Structure 1
Amino acid sequence: MTAVKITDRLTVASQPTQETLATLARAGFTTVLNNRPDNEEPGQASSPAEKEAVQRAGLAYAFIPVAAGTITEADIRAFQKIVSKAEGPVYAHCRSGTRSLTLHVLGEALDGRMQPAEIEPFGRARGFDLSGAVRWLSRRAAQMPQVKGFYEPRTGSIQYVVTDPKTRRCAIIDPVYDFDEKSGATATHQADEILAYVAREGLTVEWILDTHPHADHFSAAHYLKQKTGAPTAIGEHVTDVQKLWQKTYNWPELKTDGSQWDRLFANGDVFAVGEITGRVMFSPGHTLASVTYVIGDAAFVHDTIFMPDSGTARADFPGGSAKALWASIEAILALPDETRLFTGHDYEPGGRAAKWESTVGEEKRANPHLAGMTEERFVALREARDRTLPMPKLILHALQVNIRGGRLPEPEANGKRYLKFPLDALEGAAW
């Protein structure tokens, strides 16, 4: 086994033995960071087994599994966060240590503390081949648009700022308005973090886009429009969703013409983010109104496809359809294999750090709901699984806000806002 000290806070290593893990606390380490996916080779200790051994030794454990060809900025930032917040030195490992060191140097390069030309010599001096890190930076520089994800842990949602680096114009996709159902408190922490990023990067917001009316969080689209003046948009079939939920809420005064947004996109409509062309794909199944935004080489698929280890989205909401979802996924997977896919949720399966970027090729190869799947088998799998899932805890709270473009209810005579909560509205839902 090889272990190389990189900084006072970071050592990278090859796969440690159980005996090595037991001695790390005595060597001064406080955290073990596993960068190796499970099942890479026969006999490899699983993440749960390693976690148990590490915690038995009195150490903290973190799991950020990566493969050399699929590292994303989310992995890099998660690695940085673990190292910076650890109580002491971190022992990061993969099979050989190369991926762990790659995550470190990519973070240094993205933050401007290391130049690309310095990376390979840095690795060679420590016994590692970091040519893959240099290639990663080169690929990233060629990608258009630039995409920054913001993870919201309360609901597992990811929000995006999508930027044309030439014009510094951007779109915000699926922003979250903070809501605590226990206290009824609202806040704009998530949206304000996005605004701070936009200001820090010197960006101009050109669009505020929702992929669909969300069932698990409030949309911050209206709040961000007030702050930036940028137009809001959603798919044109939001009017069908409005009519559906108008009945559920017994809300005859609700406008169901989509006028709460500045633009309703039809399938095939185009728009621009700076000089980068965006295209709208109607992607029903999860909801009646879901759309995918294809902007340059990036597609924002929200509740259709999750990360390859997480399958696909449910299709049992009012107006949902597993058969329609399959057709929408097939259209997304017909995009070029190198197309970057950005999902709208991640629930950190297996205790790994949150991730949200994959590619069409990765999904076709590794997503168990898609690889080698037929429509008939997918529909049966999806419908069987959906029957076991309870409704999102905020669905009845959120839809009455989100079918109005993120507008909260108007204050009543006492100055307070009230949500309307229908009882027994979702018949047959799992508890």
Structure 2
Amino acid sequence: MKTIVVNLLFSISDQPALAEIADLGANGTRCLINLRPDAEEGAPGSKAEKRAAEDSGLNYRFIPVTVADLTEADVDAFRAALAESKGPVLAHCKSGMRALLLYVLVEVIDGRMALADVTAFGETHGFDLSPAVNWLQNRAGKSPRVKAFFDPRTWSVQYVVSDPATRRCAIIDPVLDYDEKSGQTSTENADRILAYIAAEGLTVEWILDTHPHADHFSAAFYLKQKTGAPSAIGDHVVEVQKLWKGFYNWPSLATDGSQWDRLFGDGETFSIGTLSARVMFSPGHTLASITYVIGDAAFVHDTLFMPDSGTARADFPGGSSEALYASISAILALPDETRLFTGHDYQPGGRHVRYESTVAQQKAQNPHLAGIDKAGFVELREARDRTLPMPKLILHALQVNVRGGRLPEPEDNGRRYLKIPLDALEGAVW
């Protein structure tokens, strides 16, 4: 193992042998960051490294990255690993180059290093960091700016999408915290979003939902009250309302979409500052799912996951694998460089949270799509869906989310109550 000391708290190296990892703790290292995908040639695998690291008393972080597919999520994960390290860190990849590159990206983004100093810094440590310079320059040119907020309880990704020119923004798919064991609700996630908006000096222009969610409560109504911004969703939400009105035996539920300020039809456009936004009707996961195409970015929520995670299930009431295939095909017809932002990440293999890909990456790398035609997709999707239990919050969440995130009204004792229908989803996997 060839180690390069960058400073007293951070070093980089090529691939350490497992025996060398076992000695790191005794030599003062407190955290080992592995940046190598398990499939990379010569990598011993994250599971073996994790065992060796933990046996040595080290904190271990698995952040598999490649330079070609590097995203903001990777940089955020690296920054968090450094902040949580509780002592000296050793980050490694195949040569050490990716480790130094990520370190530099964090330093420049956080204002501790100038972009003009990156090349010389790399040369001092024996590496060509021109890919870091290119990445930072490309990042500066991206529009919109996208800030993600991950909720580990529901594996959900929420977004603030902003126009750099006007500092106006939209909030997409915010989460209202809910603990089904205690019945407690909280606005922790939504308040985290509001704190970011205040710190960045942004003005909220829209609060947007992609569909009525089955695995978390929407914070759209809470944020509307806090910001005064209008809320919106796709116009097919009225079909979802009518469907679930029957499930809940809920005669008083308005099924005209009036719980939102605007219902978007397929192809409708709107603005966020100077940014042009367009709505694509994307059914399949639900009857009402839509995609927001904003600048060079598309917010697809459950329709597509990261390329290593496949696609959304299509077995909810009103779902359709054939419709889902058509929706995905329309998304993948966008330009190859379009950034795709998903609404959930389940961290396969224990990797860090990721949420951004491109159309080109999805077409080439997603195992549910690459080399698979419509018939093959439908067969794969329906076979997989037959094995999946319903989300644990589906019956809790839909009665809130078909009303735009409004909780049930308080009863005469001042408390709110959810209504859970029994045996409504017949045949669901336990």
Provide TM-score, normalisation by structure 1: 0.99
2-side partners of 1:27 and 1:428: how far apart?
Answer: 57
Task: Give the Å deviation of 1:217.
Answer: 0.4
* 1:270-303 superposed Cα distances (whole Å, 9 cap, x missing partner): 0001001000000000000000000000000000
What is the aligned length?
A: 430
2-side partners of 1:114 and 1:367: how far apart?
Answer: 36
Task: Give the Å deviation of 1:67.
Answer: 0.6
1-side partners of 2:228 and 2:261: how far apart?
Answer: 11
Task: Give the Å deviation of 1:373.
Answer: 1.1
Deviates more, 1:349-358 or 1:78-87: 78-87
* 1:77-101 superposed Cα distances (whole Å, 9 cap, x missing partner): 1111111111221111111111111
Instruction: Indicate conservation of the 8 Å contact 1:299/1:339, yes or no.
Output: yes
How many percent of aligned residue pairs carry the same amino acid? 67
Secondary structure of the 1:70 match is coil
Q: Structure 1 residue runs of 4+, over 4 Å off? A: none
Partner of 2:84: 85
1:66 has 2:68 as partner:
no
Secondary structure of the 2:77 match is helix
1-side partners of 2:411 and 2:418: how far apart?
Answer: 11
Task: Give the Å deviation of 1:8.
Answer: 2.0
Task: Give the Å deviation of 1:69.
Answer: 1.3
2-side partners of 1:94 and 1:311: how far apart?
Answer: 26
Task: Give the Å deviation of 1:56.
Answer: 2.4
Task: Give the Å deviation of 1:386.
Answer: 0.7
1-side partners of 2:150 and 2:211: how far apart?
Answer: 18
Deviates more, 1:409-418 or 1:75-84: 75-84
Task: Give the Å deviation of 1:59.
Answer: 1.9
Task: Give the Å deviation of 1:239.
Answer: 0.3
* 1:360-412 superposed Cα distances (whole Å, 9 cap, x missing partner): 11111111111111111111111111111110000000000000000000000
Secondary structure of the 2:149 match is strand
Task: Give the Å deviation of 1:119.
Answer: 0.8
Partner of 1:328: 327
2-side partners of 1:119 and 1:63: how far apart?
Answer: 25
Partner of 1:356: 355
Partner of 2:29: 29
Provide TM-score, normalisation by structure 2: 0.99
Secondary structure of the 2:25 match is coil
Instruction: Indicate conservation of the 8 Å contact 1:9/1:83, yes or no.
Output: no
Partner of 2:8: 8
Structure 1: tracts of 5 or more residues without a match? none
Instruction: Indicate conservation of the 8 Å contact 2:407/2:416, yes or no.
Output: yes
2-side partners of 1:259 and 1:44: how far apart?
Answer: 55
Partner of 1:392: 391
Partner of 2:237: 238
Secondary structure of the 2:160 match is strand
Instruction: Indicate conservation of the 8 Å contact 2:36/2:43, yes or no.
Output: no
* 1:101-120 superposed Cα distances (whole Å, 9 cap, x missing partner): 11111111111111111111
Secondary structure of the 1:306 match is coil
1:52 has 2:48 as partner:
no
Task: Give the Å deviation of 1:19.
Answer: 2.2
Task: Give the Å deviation of 1:53.
Answer: 2.0
